[in-house]
Amino acid sequence: MTVSKPRMDRDSLPPNVTNLSHWPTIDITLLDENDADRVARRIQAVRAYIEGQPVGILSKQASLPRQEVYRLVKRCMKLHPDGRIWGFRALLPACRITPYVRTATIDGSRPSQQGGAAGALTMLFDRYPTIQKAVDSLFLKKVKEHVVQESRMPVKTIHKHFIEKCKEAGLTARHYPLNMNHRGRRALSTYLKRLFKSNLKQAVKARHGDDAARALASREAGPDSIVTRPFERVEFDGHRIDAVCTIDLPNPYGGIQQLVLDRLWLLAIIDVKTRAILGYTLVLNPEYNAEDVLRCIKHALTPWRPMTLTIPGLKYTKGSGLPSGVHAECAWALWDELWFDNAKANLADAVRSNLSRVVGCAINAGPVKTPQRRPFIERLFQTLEENGFHRLPSTTGNGPDDPRRDDPEAAALRWNISYQHLVELTDVLIARYNAEPHTGLGNRSPLEMLEYFIVNEGCEFRAVPEQKRQDLALLHIRVVRCIRGDVTQGKCPYVEFEGVRYYNDVLRHSPDLVGEHLSLLVDPDDLRCVTAYLEDGREFGVLTAHGLWGRTPHTLTVRKAINKLRARKLIFYTDNEDPILVYMDFLNRQAATSKLARGQSAKLLAGLQAVPPTQPTSSIADVTESNPPASSRTVYTPAMRKTRLD
């Protein structure tokens, strides 16, 4: 008497699998005629069974036995590795939905026999799990931390360890894999491919490094929130320009020397919705710092003006520019969210506090080393390089093997590609980028996209209040200093900041304030003057630096560098000498052998020429009567080196 297998009860099917519209499907048009007819009949039978038709009727219509219908339905209900059921995919001919399990042994000498070893490696691992564990550990780098291991062990080396483990387990030349021609290498390679797929995250980290694993994790995290309007989200990053330039510096022995500068940093902010570059800045230092980040933010907020170009033939294209200079609605506009990486300069307290206080935006640093989360700013730098900097004779190319790289330093000297030329070229490239059609914007330019949202969508942007625009204190720092002095010894009241005394006539004639504290608002871009406030918040006035410190514009970085060099007895100056000019001479002497000194000298010279002599940037209130007149504050020129007092 035979016992029949229990048939499937269609009433017991889960409700989530009875909806055939959610089943994975197949395209039978890709099959040949015979297979297509066979699969079509199978699909017809399974559909009819799920929809409740009698098995006897549907089996006749599909020309399939009743037991075959039950078998096909069970196959469709099994779970696929992708997490869904197999569905109609299980109806394809020769489709294996369960892994093959070998039962026959493969012992005996068979060095010249071809095939016949299917499933032998799986059987071996089932019998000797220690061998499988050793292979997995070598491939996924699951060994102990104190053990030295290869960065990415090749399959050839893993196979050698695999054979050694087989011999240690007691296998001989009559056992698999030692009795095979290739000793199981092909089967092992196939197994490692499946192991890679089944342990994707760990395998990517072990075989391709942490950066690839982080990039994979960022993609698996799912899409970020959708940006629907301009200035909702912006991205910031820094990029080292692939080109070198020169600068003319005074020679300590007379004349002018032309020297090559180190590569510049380009910092930029781009709007995600419109792809418009809102602001940028160039940095001469080997690395950019928090002040450079804030300068870039300040440039994005203040209205843009085209430069006076000195390169023959270089000009702005019609309608090009930055949004703050082209659309009045974008001048002083603020954004809601800023995305950048985890660079220390970006995470500085000064950057975070000023973004919160002045811009009022959220900050998103994202996971470490995941530039994929900021695709637009990363793609921007590539576009600027290919359209501009890589076309220069002094380009360094993408790397040492780039054929465009042909002794860039010699080319910069030969063709006199100066720092000022690179500044002008960068401004024109960025202005032109904003005016060129973008495929991601439906062939509109970023500026046209902005105009569309302003005119057609009626977008209005948050903006810096008018009362704060005249003196945007984005870079300013606040410090508290005690008033010192002793009139009995002839010392008038003063406050000291970074080794320099500050005062005005009001403070000098207020001996009763000695011992009190003043809050100083300092602009690190110009330390000639600071604005002082009493402890109760009342403005005390503008204090001027003592002596020649109050004449030549200089930054906080320059002040600290001078103090450090003087403490190390590398530079000397008296009260009758301008410390800034002494520092310039020191840098010019070092510039012959130091690219760092060249960059610092170029930055100092550019800063001296950029600061208006009639209005120190740190002055927030009107200059009091005791301060030096505007005409006495001069900007450094090379001729000033000859006017220093010995």
For the ranges 104-113, 314-323, 522-531, which has the lowest average pLDDT?
A: 104-113
Q: Is residue 215 part of a domain?
A: no
Q: To which residue do tokens 């001919």 refer?
A: 93
Residue in 324, 328, 274, 326 with CA at minimum distance from that of residue 301: 324
Query: What does the pLDDT look like over 347-360, one tens digit per residue?
Result: 888 888 888 888 99
Confidence of residue 623 (pLDDT cuts 50, 70, 90): very low
The whole-number average pLDDT for the span 440-444 is: 90
Confidence of residue 331 (pLDDT cuts 50, 70, 90): very high
Q: Which two tokens stand for residue 434?
A: 């904003």
The whole-number average pLDDT for the span 6-25 is: 75
Which conformational region is residue 254 in: left (phi greater than 0), alpha (psi within -120 to 50 degrees), or beta?
left
Q: Which two tokens stand for residue 561?
A: 């560098």
The whole-number average pLDDT for the span 51-56 is: 88
For the ranges 39-48, 103-112, 192-201, 636-645, which has the lowest average pLDDT?
A: 636-645
Separation CA 64–CA 58 (nearest Å): 8
The whole-number average pLDDT for the span 217-236 is: 76
For the ranges 5-9, 30-34, 611-615, which has the lowest average pLDDT?
A: 611-615
In this predicted structure, the answer to whether residue 633 has a pLDDT above a threshold of 70 is: no
Confidence of residue 613 (pLDDT cuts 50, 70, 90): very low
Confidence of residue 89 (pLDDT cuts 50, 70, 90): very high
In this predicted structure, the answer to whether residue 335 has a pLDDT above a threshold of 80 is: yes
If asked whether residues 335 and 483 sit together in one domain, one would say: no
Is 618:531 a contact under the CB 8 Å cutoff? yes
Q: Is residue 109 part of a domain?
A: no
The number of distinct structural domains making up the chain is 4
Separation CA 511–CA 531 (nearest Å): 19
If asked whether residues 464 and 481 sit together in one domain, one would say: no
If asked whether residues 418 and 309 sit together in one domain, one would say: yes
Q: Which two tokens stand for residue 357?
A: 């206080």
Q: Is residue 194 part of a domain?
A: yes
Q: What is the pLDDT of residue 626?
A: 33
In this predicted structure, the answer to whether residue 621 has a pLDDT above a threshold of 70 is: no
Separation CA 636–CA 601 (nearest Å): 12
Look up residue 46 and give its amino acid: V
Give the contacts of 612 (CB within 8 A, at least 6 positions apart).
none
In this predicted structure, the answer to whether residue 640 has a pLDDT above a threshold of 90 is: no
In this predicted structure, the answer to whether residue 551 has a pLDDT above a threshold of 70 is: yes
Confidence of residue 144 (pLDDT cuts 50, 70, 90): low
Q: Taking all residues of the chain, what is their mean pLDDT, rounded to a whole number?
A: 84
If asked whether residues 346 and 493 sit together in one domain, one would say: no
Q: Is residue 218 part of a domain?
A: no
Query: What does the pLDDT look like over 273-311, one tens digit per residue?
Result: 999 999 999 998 888 988 899 999 999 999 999 999 999
| CA angle (244 as vertex; 240, 250 as ends), nearest 5 | 120
In this predicted structure, the answer to whether residue 416 has a pLDDT above a threshold of 90 is: no
Q: Which helix (H) or strand (E) holds 381?
A: helix 375-387
Among 162, 191, 208, give the residue marking a domain's end. Answer: 208
Task: Look up residue 304 and give its DSSP letter.
Answer: P
If asked whether residues 512 and 592 sit together in one domain, one would say: yes
Separation CA 381–CA 266 (nearest Å): 9
Is 573:579 a contact under the CB 8 Å cutoff? yes
Q: Is residue 219 part of a domain?
A: no
Look up residue 490 and give its amino acid: G
Q: What is the pLDDT of residue 217?
A: 66
Q: What is the pLDDT of residue 153?
A: 86
Separation CA 104–CA 119 (nearest Å): 9
If asked whether residues 455 and 486 sit together in one domain, one would say: no
Among 190, 208, 226, give the residue marking a domain's end. Answer: 208
Q: What is the pLDDT of residue 537?
A: 86
Q: Is residue 404 part of a domain?
A: yes
If asked whether residues 273 and 395 sit together in one domain, one would say: yes
Q: Is residue 3 part of a domain?
A: no
Is 118:100 a contact under the CB 8 Å cutoff? yes
If asked whether residues 496 and 431 sit together in one domain, one would say: no
The whole-number average pLDDT for the span 447-464 is: 93
Give the contacts of 645 (CB within 8 A, at least 6 positions apart).
576, 577
| CA angle (438 as vertex; 433, 442 as ends), nearest 5 | 150
The whole-number average pLDDT for the span 502-526 is: 91
Q: What is the pLDDT of residue 81?
A: 83
The whole-number average pLDDT for the span 249-277 is: 85
Domain containing 180 equals 120-208
The whole-number average pLDDT for the span 549-557 is: 88
Q: What is the pLDDT of residue 629?
A: 34
Among 469, 504, 521, give the residue marking a domain's end. Answer: 469
Confidence of residue 500 (pLDDT cuts 50, 70, 90): very high
In this predicted structure, the answer to whether residue 366 has a pLDDT above a threshold of 70 is: yes
If asked whether residues 268 and 361 sit together in one domain, one would say: yes
If asked whether residues 69 and 185 sit together in one domain, one would say: no
If asked whether residues 608 and 635 sit together in one domain, one would say: yes
Confidence of residue 7 (pLDDT cuts 50, 70, 90): low
| 488 vs 92 pLDDT, higher one | 92
If asked whether residues 626 and 519 sit together in one domain, one would say: yes
CATH number, position 367 = 3.30.420.10
Task: Look up residue 357 and give its DSSP letter.
Answer: I
Q: Is residue 621 part of a domain?
A: yes
Look up residue 504 and give its amino acid: N
